């Protein structure tokens, strides 16, 4: 391992230059105008993976953008790590807010500014460069590696699940490593062991057969917008608990140990509130802010619309009112079951004067990885080696659907070892990635594979 670490140290500049090469390719997956660029990024990666000494890398064609698949088998008896990442990026708009062009990587104060610098080109190159450090510095890898790098993460990952299903055998592994999350804070290394799931639904209430004049009909025709407001208002009680019957039925309670960790995390509530411009928060009764945003389920309106929404006054009594509502889920809630419970809630409360259309738009399972998992323990030890302190095991409030997919299809747990920061402006103008963290990530992964291989020996 020491040679690999030395190699990484002595090749830092080259690594960064290569990252810049990849960042120059505007691989915006959601915009078909960039289709060729997306493929160019995939090809760059496949070429690069073989270039650093991996046995095999290829582009797998899908109905959309290709998936980069690479393999390197040292010894069948060694553990196999499946690395997942994505080489596509978000559109850079609004361009005028960027201080330097999004696809001309720019270094400033040891930070690299570019679209994709953190999400996920910079982070996905960390295991690539760790592999290079072993292959070039040590002559071989301590573990077997597989890479699955998709090009549609920012546009729905439509072809990923079919790919995983089709390539199950070749994707056989012991654990998944994903470098696509943030650490808890600068200098606070962390490993994510929990993600929330989601049930996303849409409801439409329809009253009269057309928009009516509110003067001629108001007072007797029940207003779908008023009625929908009632249904939405009824989703929470005074303790800000969700009132959908049996909503909490399968929620696994937080353990004392988990709650202790939440208390120990160096979290500045005031700074957090300042960063989003609020003076106060509203959490479910009995839970801290951090618990509420990562380890408790939610029910939020994501969008609502009805009637006249232009300038000025129009006296319309709307025929219809609609809302998009999503529930973030925690283990062991099931998305389909929760959507069904929500459906029953709305059906039970729809006024007799109107009809309800309820659509279950999509769902995703919540994730909890056992922190005693050997890979988790190895990762913790590896990060301690780099940072000089034990990482926290933390939960994130968002969802990474692929984690549940890997579990469901391949039976694999995922190790979410992220080196981004929440302040890295991913999906926003001036996305950036600290080059210190890039190096720390590579070193952490080098250590991880060594420890994980020894554990399994």
Give, as ranges, the residues between 157 and 216 that touch its own copies (CB under 8 A). 196, 198, 200, 207-210, 212-216
Give residues 13-72 in contact with its own copies (rule: CB under 8 A).
none
d(CA 415, CA 56): 24
Q: Considering only residues 117, 354, 367, 412, which one is a binding residue for its own copies as defined by CB under 8 A? A: 354
What minimum distance in Å lies between the beta carbon of 20 and its own copies?
28
> Min. distance of Cβ 292 from its own copies in angstroms?
4
- State which of residues 223, 333, 394, 430 lies at the interface with its own copies (CB under 8 A): 223
Stretch near its own copies under the rule CB under 8 A, chosen from 93-101, 221-229, 371-379, 449-457? 221-229
Residue pair 453/143 in contact (Cβ under 8 Å)? The answer is yes
- Binds its own copies (CB under 8 A): choice among 10, 110, 243, 315: 315
Element (H, E) at 160: helix 160-166
* Cβ atoms 341, 245 nearer than 8 A: yes
Angle at 215 between CA 212 and CA 218, to 5 degrees: 70
Among 51, 139, 162, 234, binds its own copies (CB under 8 A): 234
User: Where does 243-296 have alpha helices with state H?
Assistant: 256-264, 269-276, 289-294
Output b/e per residue, 333-368; b: 16+ Cβ within 10 A. bbbebbbebbbebbeeebbeebebebebeebbbbbb
Residue 280 sits in the site that holds its own copies (CB under 8 A): yes
Nearer to its own copies, 17 or 237 (CB): 237
H/E segment holding residue 326: strand 320-329
Report CA dihedral (131, 136, 140, 145) to the nearest 10 degrees: 20
| Nearest distance in Å: CB 128, its own copies | 27
Binding pattern to its own copies, positions 407-446, x when CB under 8 A? ---------------x------------------------
Provide the 3-class DSSP secondary structure of residue 205. strand
Residue number, 16 or 212, with CB nearest to its own copies: 212
What is the 8-class DSSP label of residue 120?
T
Task: Please state the closest distance from residue 267 (CB atom) to its own copies, in A.
Answer: 11
Strands (E), 169-282: 175-178, 190-195, 197-206, 212-213
Distance of closest approach, residue 229 Cβ to its own copies, in angstroms: 4
Q: In the complex with its own copies, which residue's Cβ is closer, 111 or 283?
A: 283
Name which position in 187, 276, 370, 388 contacts its own copies (CB under 8 A): 276
- Report the nearest approach of its own copies to the CB of residue 263 (Å): 16
Options 282, 349, 389, 408; binder of its own copies; rule CB under 8 A: 282
Considering only residues 356 to 395 of the shown chain, the ones binding its own copies according to CB under 8 A are 361-362
Footprint on residues 237-256 left by its own copies (CB under 8 A): none
The residue count for binding its own copies (CB under 8 A) is 81
CB of 248 to its own copies, least distance (A): 14
**Candidate residues 30, 283, 377, 456; the one interacting with its own copies per rule CB under 8 A:** 283
Q: How many CA atoms lie within 13 A of 185 on its CB side?
A: 8
Output 39 or 241, the one with its CB closest to its own copies.
241
In the complex, least distance from residue 89 CB atom to its own copies, rounded to whole angstroms = 17
Residue 273 — φ and ψ, nearest 5°?
A: -65, -40
Which x/- pattern over 101-120 shows residues binding its own copies (rule: CB under 8 A)? --------------------
The correct pick among 33, 271, 309, 457 for binding its own copies (CB under 8 A) is 309
Strand positions, DSSP E, 45-131: 56-60, 67-72, 80-86, 106-108, 111-113
- State in angstroms the smallest separation of the CB of 321 from its own copies: 7
Question: What is the SS3 assignment for 7?
Answer: helix
Shorter beta-carbon distance to its own copies: residue 225 or 446: 225
Position of tokens 């899908």? 62
- By CB under 8 A, which span of 45-53, 82-90, 247-255, 285-293 interacts with its own copies? 285-293
Question: Given the complex with its own copies, which of 136 and 283 has the nearer CB atom?
Answer: 283
- Rounded to whole angstroms, how far apart are CA atoms 449 and 318? 61
Q: ∠94-106-92 over CA atoms, to 5°?
A: 20
In a 10 Å sphere around its CB, with 0-12 CB exposed, 13-18 middle and 19+ buried, how is residue 442 labelled? buried
Convert 264-286 to b/e letters by CB count within 10 Å (16 or more is b).
Answer: eeebeeeeeeeeeeeeeeebbee
Among 12, 226, 250, 377, binds its own copies (CB under 8 A): 226
Q: How far is 184 from 349, CA to CA, in rounded Å?
A: 41
Q: Tell the smallest beta-carbon distance from residue 252 to its own copies (Å).
A: 16
């Amino acid at each position: 391992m020491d040679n690999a670490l030395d190699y990484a140290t002595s090749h830092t500049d080259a690594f960064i230059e290569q990252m810049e090469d990849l960042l120059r390719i505007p691989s915006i997956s959601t915009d078909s105008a960039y289709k060729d660029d997306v493929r160019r990024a995939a090809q760059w990666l496949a070429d690069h993976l073989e270039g650093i000494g991996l046995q095999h890398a290829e582009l797998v064609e899908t109905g959309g953008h290709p998936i980069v698949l690479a393999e390197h088998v040292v010894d069948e008896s060694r553990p196999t790590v499946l690395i997942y990442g994505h080489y596509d990026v978000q559109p850079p708009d609004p361009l005028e807010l960027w201080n330097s062009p999004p696809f001309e990587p720019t270094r400033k104060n040891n930070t690299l500014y570019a679209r994709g610098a953190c999400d996920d080109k910079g982070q996905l190159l960390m295991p690539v460069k760790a592999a290079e450090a072993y292959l070039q510095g040590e002559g071989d890898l301590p573990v077997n590696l597989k890479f699955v790098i998709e090009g549609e993460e920012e546009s729905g990952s439509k072809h990923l699940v079919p790919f995983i299903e089709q390539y199950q055998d070749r994707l056989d592994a012991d654990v998944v490593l994903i470098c696509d999350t943030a650490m808890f804070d600068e200098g606070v290394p962390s490993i994510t062991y929990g993600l929330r799931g989601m049930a996303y639904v849409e409801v439409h209430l329809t009253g009269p057969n057309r928009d009516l004049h509110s003067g001629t009909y108001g007072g007797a025709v029940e207003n779908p917008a008023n009625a929908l407001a009632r249904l939405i208002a009824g989703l929470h009680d005074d303790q800000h608990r969700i009132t959908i019957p049996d909503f909490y039925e399968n929620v696994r309670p937080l353990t004392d140990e988990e709650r202790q960790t939440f208390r120990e995390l160096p979290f500045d509530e005031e700074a957090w509130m300042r960063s989003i411009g609020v003076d106060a928060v509203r959490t479910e009764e009995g839970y801290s802010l951090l618990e509420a945003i990562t380890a408790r389920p939610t029910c939020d309106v994501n969008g609502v619309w009805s009637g006249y929404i232009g300038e000025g006054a129009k006296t319309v009594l709307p025929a219809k009112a609609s809302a998009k509502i999503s529930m973030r889920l925690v283990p062991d809630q099931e998305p389909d079951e929760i959507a069904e419970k929500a459906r029953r809630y709305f059906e039970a409360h729809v006024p007799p004067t109107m009809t309800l259309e309820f659509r279950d738009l999509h769902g995703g399972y919540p994730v909890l990885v056992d922190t005693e998992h050997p890979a988790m323990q190895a990762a913790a030890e590896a990060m301690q080696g780099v940072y000089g302190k034990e990482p926290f095991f933390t939960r994130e409030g968002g969802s990474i659907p692929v984690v549940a997919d890997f579990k469901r299809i391949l039976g694999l747990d995922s190790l979410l070892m992220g080196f981004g920061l929440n302040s890295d402006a991913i999906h926003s103008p001036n996305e950036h990635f600290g080059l210190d963290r890039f190096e720390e990530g590579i070193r952490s992964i080098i250590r991880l594979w060594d420890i994980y291989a020894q554990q399994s020996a």
